[in-house]
Amino acid sequence: MATYYTISASLLTLKDINAIIFENKKLKLSDASKAKIKKAKAFLDKKLFDSDKPFYGINTGFGSLYNLEISKKDLTTLQENLVMSHACGTGDKVPEVIVKIMLLLKIKSLSFGHSGVQLATVNRLIDFFNNDIFPFVYTQGSLGASGDLAPLAHLSLPIIGKGKVTYKNRLVNTSTVLKKFNWKPIKLEAKEGLALLNGTQFMTAYGVYCLLLSHKSSYLADIIASISLDAFDGRIEPFNDLVHVIRPHAGQFKVARRFREFLKDSEIIAQPKAHVQDPYSFRCIPQVHGATKDTIDFVEKTIITEINSVTDNPNIFPDEDEIISAGNFHGQPLALAFDYLKIAMAEIGNISERRVFQLVSGLRGLPAFLVDNPGLNSGFMIPQYTAASIVSANKQLATPASVDSIVSSNGQEDHVSMGANAAVQAYNLIRNVERIIAIELFNASQALEFRRPLKSSKFIELFLKAYRKEVPFIKKDEILHDDIEKSIQFLKKYNITDFELFLNDYGIKASLLEQ
C-alpha cells in the first residue's frame, strides 16, 4: 500500500525529501493547499475580467516584450507559446532523481497559492511524480535568473502534451504516456506558463541532491580518514576534546569526537609512537573536515528556505488585492551557496589526496607504493596520480560561478546569478569527491594490512571486512581500474537511510542529516 506525504504549509525539510524520494512516497495536496490554489486562481480570473490593466506576463509579452499587450482571447496561446519557445535546453540529461525532486519542489511552490494556476495543473504534476513519469530535462540553458527558464520549460512540456518523458526506463513521447493513463493535455490559462517556468526548482533540486550527497560523503570521508590515520600509525592526541573546546567550531568538535569513537579500541592507535607529530593532512582533519561540515549546514539553511518559498513571478496576493511583478526568481542566494559548497567539498577531496600521497611514500614502515617487491611492482603509484588529477579538476569546478553575469533579453535581464551553472558544477564536483575518497579507501585498506598482526578498532575492522568482499588485498600488479571502480560502487550503493542502518549494524548510531 502506498505511503503518502501531504503537501501543506508545513516546512519541507531535507529529511522529509530524503524519505519521500528514497522511500518512494507518493504526494497529495492538503485541503488547505487546494483552497489556496483555487482562491488565487479565482482572484486572477476576476482581475482579468474586470480590468484591462496590463499585468506582466499575464496579458503582456515576456522579458523585453513586456510592453506588448495581448488580447484576452490569446492568453492560452501566449502561455503555451511561452513553454514551447523556452524549451531550449541542451547538454546532458538531468538525472531522473533530480527531475523527481524538481517536480516535488515545483508542486510545493505552487501550493502556497501565490501563483494563479489551475488546481488541475498542480494535480498533473502530482500525477507525474506519483507514477514516476520524468520529463526529459537538459543540464544547460538556465542563467539562474528569471527562474530556471529552459529546464523548467522542458519539465512543463508534458503538461501540455508535448516533449518527451522517461517512463519505466524508456524514453517515450509524452503522448504515449498520456494515452496509457487516459489523460488529456492541460489547457494552460492566464499566467500558468509563467508560473511553471519562473522559479528556481532546477537549481534547488540540484541543491537538495548535492546536500544529500555532501552529508553522506562528508561522513564517509571521516570513516576513511580514520582508517588512513591508523594505517599511517598516526596519533590520536590532536582529536582530544581539550584542543577543540578552546576553538569551539561545531564541525571541528564533531569530527574530533567521531574519530575517537571510530578508533576507541584500536590496537594500532594505542601503541607507542616514534614520531611526535603527524603531517597536517592527518593532524588537522578536525579543522578541515569540520569546516566543510559547518559550510554544509549553512548551505542547507539557504536551500531549505528556498524549498519553502514562492519563486515565480508575478506574485498574486488575493487578500491584499495585489498582483506584483518582482524578482523572487533570481538565484543569487543559491548561486553564492553553491559556490561555497563547491569550495568546501573540494577541500574534502584535496586533503584526502594528500593522505593518499603520504600513504604511498614509503614512510613509517610502509613499503613504497604499498606493495611487496616495489620496482618489479608499481603497486599503488598511479591511483595517487588519478586522485591528484581529479583534485585538480575540482579546483577548476570550484571557481565561483556567481561572480559572473551576462546581459540577456535585450538588456531587460541585465544581471543574472549563474546559479544553475554553479549547481551542475557542484553536482559534478561532489561526484568527483566520491571518487577521490574511494581511492583513499583503496589505499588505506591496503596500507592497514602491513600493520598486521595489530588490529584497528572493531568498527573499522568490520567496515573493512564488508569492503574486502568487494575489493581484495593487492599482492602484485594488476589492472587497478577495476578495483577503484569497485571501491567507488561500494561507497555509492547505499542511500543515506540504508547507510545509517549499515553503520548501526556495526555499532555506530548515526543520523547523517543531523551532523
Q: Kindly list the catalytic residues.
A: 56
Q: Distance between CA 115 and CA 317 in Å, rounded?
A: 9
Joined together, the cell numbers standing for residue 174 give 509524452
* Cis amide bond preceding 314, omega within 30: yes
Rg (Cα) of the chain, in Å, rounded?
26
- Which of 55, 105, 106 has its CA nearest to residue 79? 55
Instruction: Give the strand pairing for 133-135 and 164-167.
Output: antiparallel
* Angle value at C-alpha 494, between 101 and 259, nearest 5 degrees: 115
Joined together, the cell numbers standing for residue 222 give 571521516
Joined together, the cell numbers standing for residue 93 give 540529461
Phi, psi of 178, deg, nearest 5 = -60, -40
Joined together, the cell numbers standing for residue 112 give 502556497
Joined together, the cell numbers standing for residue 359 give 600513504
Q: Distance between CA 158 and CA 134 in Å, rounded?
A: 9
Q: Distance between CA 218 and CA 404 in Å, rounded?
A: 28
Q: Distance between CA 497 and CA 489 in Å, rounded?
A: 17
Whether 260 contacts 293, CB under 8 Å? no
Whether 49 contacts 58, CB under 8 Å? no
* Angle value at C-alpha 62, between 56 and 65, nearest 5 degrees: 100
Handedness of CA 108, 111, 114, 115 (dihedral sign): positive
Q: Distance between CA 455 and CA 460 in Å, rounded?
A: 9
Whether 39 contacts 318, CB under 8 Å? yes
Largest CA distance in the chain: 88
Q: Distance between CA 159 and CA 83 in Å, rounded?
A: 10
